[in-house]
Amino acid sequence: MVKNISLPGCLYKRGDRWYWKVQLPGEPCFKIRPMIPPGGRYATKEYRTAEKIAQDMLLRAAGNVAKTKHCCNGRMATLVALYLKHAKSYYRKPNGDTTNQYLNVARSVGYLVKHCPTMLAEDFGPLKLKEIRQIMIEKNLSRSTINKYVGIIKQMFKWAASDELVPGGVYHSLLAVAGLKRGRSDARETEPVKPVPAEDVQRVLPYASTVIAAMVELHMYTGMRSSELCIMRPCDIDITGKIWQYKPQEHKTQHIGHTRTVPLGPRCQEILRPFLLRRLDDYCFKPAEGLKASLSVGGKIKYESYNKDTYGRAVKRAWQKAIEAGVEVARFHPHQLRHTAATLVRKEIGLDAARALLGHRSLAMTDDYAEIDRELADRAAQKLG
């Protein structure tokens, strides 16, 4: 089974293990490489692990071609490898792990390596960028994803221009390529994320484990991000006041100096209280206390805490069980719960309160999350006729 990704060459599965057929920078021909994790003996069975191994191999190969940052030979593949090396050190969490943004960088610039690896980077102009963008459209990527990937490619050339790896005019010419507009391109459109009715959430809770039910309720009442919810620890929660204050150890805007505090009212405190009876540095929500069957490998729990993916799958299983039991509920994913919280707060208190709860710096961002309350508009229309 071949997996279409933005890495050069072909990452594919043979039997139940992953291999990579690729011609790396500095090599004369294609080779087939088993994706063996560090310290392992056999190729991995996990796609994400194989993808990360391939990215690391690409970086090491580029390091053999360009020993230092300023030894770029001018070819696109080498420039991309140098930028990936920079991105890997730049997009890091405090614990040293790479962030999701690094994966976005690898996927986006991977299109350049795959489709124009030997092209001189200084010859890359707006028309070539549009050609790469059209390839993304034909791969059926969504319009928002394409715009994000094209923006990352522009950012790479900005970085390259700042280090004098390409002429500054190359980056400035790429700025002329505007983002795709809704309804004015062949790119696939996605539906905007809508809030899920709170009543539907309550109907699903009996079909979730105790741990997941508590997480879902907290998510809906606080509007925090899934990543913030999953890493809650007792030591991160100040319980001295009437309103508890949760300060996540990591959050989305940490790298630009923003602080993040999530207030926890009486209802949230009641939900959270049983999960505080553990070591201060333990995670509140443990997979070992939740869905063991889906998260265990060889009888052992694979994760110390949930992440946004495992949490999302657990929520999906809960509403699937509810639907199978004949309960009429809307299908939803955890990110919709953040929108639900924004809508409820905006309706009861106002847009500025919703902005403060979600941790946004602008009202415009909050407006994307909160459904516009039609009640006042409907009342005005009825009065005016």
Judged against a pLDDT cut of 70, whether residue 44 lies above it is answered with yes
Q: Spell out the CATH class of 198-377.
A: mainly alpha
pLDDT in tens, 350-374: 545 445 555 544 444 445 544 444 4
- Mean pLDDT on 43-71: 75
Q: Tokens 């489709």 map to which residue?
A: 115
**Which H/E stretch holds residue 50?**
helix 47-65
pLDDT in tens, 79-120: 999 999 999 888 887 677 777 888 899 999 999 999 999 899
pLDDT for residue 383: 44
pLDDT in tens, 312-353: 999 999 999 999 999 998 888 888 888 777 666 665 555 454
Please give the distance of CA 365 from its chain centroid, rounded to a whole number: 17
Angle at 111 between CA 115 and CA 119, to 5 degrees: 45
pLDDT for residue 180: 95
Domain boundaries, the chain: 2-174, 198-377
Least confident of 102-111, 151-160, 193-202: 193-202
22, exposed or middle or buried, with CB in 10 Å at 0-12, 13-18, 19+? buried
pTM for the predicted model, two decimal places? 0.59
How many residues can be counted in the chain?
385
- Mean pLDDT on 68-87: 79
